[in-house]
Structure 1
Amino acid sequence: MEKLKVLRIPIPTPTLWPHTSTNCYLIGNHHESLLVDTGYNHIETRKVLEQSLQENNMPEPKHIVLTHAHPDHAPGVLQVANWSPIIYCHTYEKQAIVEAISPYSAVKTVNDGDCFQVANHEIIFLHTPGHTKGHLNLYIPTEKILLAGDNILSEGTTWIGKPDGDMTDYLHSLKRLQSMEIKTIGPGHGQWVENPQKQISFVLERRLFREKQIQKLLFEFKQLTASELTKHIYQDHIHPSVFEVAKRTTEAHLCKLIKDGEVQVHDDYYMIKS
């Protein structure tokens, strides 16, 4: 079996601080290739991808997998539409993907456990919701590589929240990844993660820590808004540009705690359920 190339292609994007690029991944050999994610819809996407294909002697991908529909991952499809690729996404993400890459419309859906062959290597699609409802990960068993989209970053943690993030789903997805045999993680942003289980555990423990921290603050202050909670949690230690997504993550924790019967809300104020 010919050696499979799995290449991380960082494309400069105006994504969330502290990251300055979105990772796309080329999988294949000099006969065929698959692209995972495409960054923003700007000319830099096309230039970087074309240069990477040329440098690595790989053909234009006829198949592109989008992990999710966010603007730093999906709309770059429009920059490579002349390749006439088929776009793959999870069934739950299709509507958002179609909107993100319109007017390009060659979209097919996959579900958890579906497989795809690239250069005689099996690629397994994993439905890993939480960051979005239809978030996809890709697992390459022969290499024990996980391409994690925005589930795992090389630095810090991803945000979970509106419009379709779900903290309960995200925790379940992280626990699923914990149970897998993974040698390396290709994150949505940042360098390769060479200590995958340590990083997954870090993210899971951070989310559980935040949940307990929110409960503790609500016990102490009796009632707080999501903005007030976020300010207490971070105490001006985060970049102002990410405060809104930090607040959304706080809200996602609160939604989970409401579903769990631990917290209630009234007039935008959250409190421990009596």
Structure 2
Amino acid sequence: MTTAATPPGRPQPSIGGRATARALCVLAPNPSPMTLDGTNTWILSEPDSALAVVVDPGPLDEGHLARVVAAAEEQGKRIALTLLTHGHPDHAEGAARFAELTRTPVRALDPALRLGEEGLAEGDTVTTGGLELHVVPTPGHTSDSLCFHLPADRAVLTGDTVLGRGTTVVAHPDGRLGDYLDSLRRLQSLTTEADVATVLPGHGPVLDDARGAVEFYLAHRAHRLAQVETAVESGLRTPAEVVAHVYADVDRAVWPAAELSVRAQLDYLREHGIIDLP
């Protein structure tokens, strides 16, 4: 889910295929202004293991789900587990059907999305076939958003928290800007303390400058927040008025999503006593 601007780094020229030693991307056929080229479904496995983990099966598209299974089999892998970064349909709608096809449990933060007894929570480490993933709660885009740290590849799977192109939406009212800023700072810490270098996003190309991407997101969000504050001070009152002024450089097709972010920004400014609006 994207608005304008692009994070730094050298993105891959194409989307889909091998991204790291342990990560293979299968692109879902659901391109749109909100999903960019489509949803990135990730197949993760140790090179010498026969077991694989899939992150975000994507939409309920039988052809796509079959291609994910086939891509794993072509690598000599059997899918043993499905994980979800969050519950938006472009990431999670196909999870139940994918679980039927692969006979795998589905683990997610939101209990409503789980198939099986185990969920996901802060501090969890997922291990399958020698593969190790650390669960990183990153609320903000949605309340149930997670990232997955793949230490062996110095990579992080970010779902919609950081995209490969453009910037994401704070999906008000479930998404909250304060939470999102805290989540970006948590990812920033991963880039410095855990040496994470690569972003494997839910949409768009892989980014090879994780630290630069996260710092860009923080700067971009601060800039937009200042623009919203200035817009209110100039007399604009409704979210739609603020969107038309602040997001004039953005494709109108994503203005409805931009309005969600503006509502989150207005809530944030009110909560911190910076503006006084009903």
Name the amino acid aligned to 1:232. H
Which residue does the alignment assign to 2:141? 131
Q: 1:113 to 1:18 in 2, by over 3 A?
A: closer
1:145-224 to structure 2, matched below 5 A, reads 145-180=155-190, 181-221=195-235, 223-224=236-237
Higher mean C-alpha deviation, range 50-59 or range 244-253: 50-59
CA displacement 1:156-181 (0-9 Å, x = unmatched): 10000224101000000001111112
Alignment: residue pair count:
252
Decide whether aligned partners of structure 1 residues 231 and 69 sit closer, same or farther in structure 2, where only a CA change above 3 A counts. Answer: same
Report whether the alignment pairs 1:12 with 2:29.
yes
Separation in structure 2 between the aligned mates of residue 239 and residue 166 of structure 1, nearest angstrom: 23
Q: What is the aligned-residue RMSD (CA, Å)?
A: 1.8
Residues of 1 paired with 2:34 and 2:152: CA distance? Answer: 34
The 3-state SS of whatever aligns with 2:28 is strand
Q: Following the alignment from structure 2 to structure 1, what is the Cα–Cα distance between the partners of residues 231 and 173?
A: 25
Residue 4 (structure 1) shift: 5.5
TM-score by length of 1: 0.86
Q: Based on CA coordinates, which of the two structures has the bigger radius of gyration?
A: 1
Answer yes or no: is 1:143 the counterpart of 2:129: no
Please, which of 229, 234, 239 is the counterpart of residue 247 of structure 2? 234
SS in 2 for 1:109: coil
Match of 1:66 in 2: 84
TM-superposed CA distance for 1:152, in Å, is: 0.5
What does residue range 81-160 of structure 1 map to in structure 2 within 5 Å? 81-90=100-109, 93-95=110-112, 97=113, 105-106=115-116, 108-160=118-170
Give the AA of the match of 1:123: L
CA displacement, residues 126-152 of structure 1 (integer Å, 9 cap, x when unaligned): 111101112111001222110011011
Counterpart secondary structure, 1:138: strand
In the alignment, what sits opposite 1:102?
Answer: none
Q: What percentage of aligned pairs have identical amino acids?
A: 27
Structure 1 residue 18: Cα displacement? 6.5
| Aligned-partner Cα distance in 2 for 1:107–1:145 | 28
Could you tell me which runs of 5 or more consecutive residues in structure 2 were left unpaired when the two chains were aligned. Answer: 1-19
Structure with higher RCO (Cα < 8 A, 6+ apart): 2
Where do 4+ consecutive residues of structure 1 move more than 4 Å? none
Secondary structure of the residue aligned to 1:24 is strand
2:128 partner amino acid? V
SS in 2 for 1:251: helix
The farther-off stretch of 224-233 and 47-56 is: 47-56
Give the CA deviation at 1:14.
4.4
Contact 1:8 1:186 in 2 (8 A): no
Counterpart in the other structure of 1:78: 96
Are the counterparts in 2 of residues 15 and 72 from structure 1 also a CA contact under 8 Å?
Answer: no
Q: Is the 8 A contact 2:247 2:255 kept in 1?
A: no
CA contact under 8 A between 1:11 and 1:48: conserved in structure 2? no
Which amino acid in the other structure matches residue 189 of structure 2?
Answer: S
Q: Deviations over 1:19-52 (max 9, x none)?
A: 1310111111441011100110112322320231
CA distance in 1, matches of 2:205, 2:272: 36
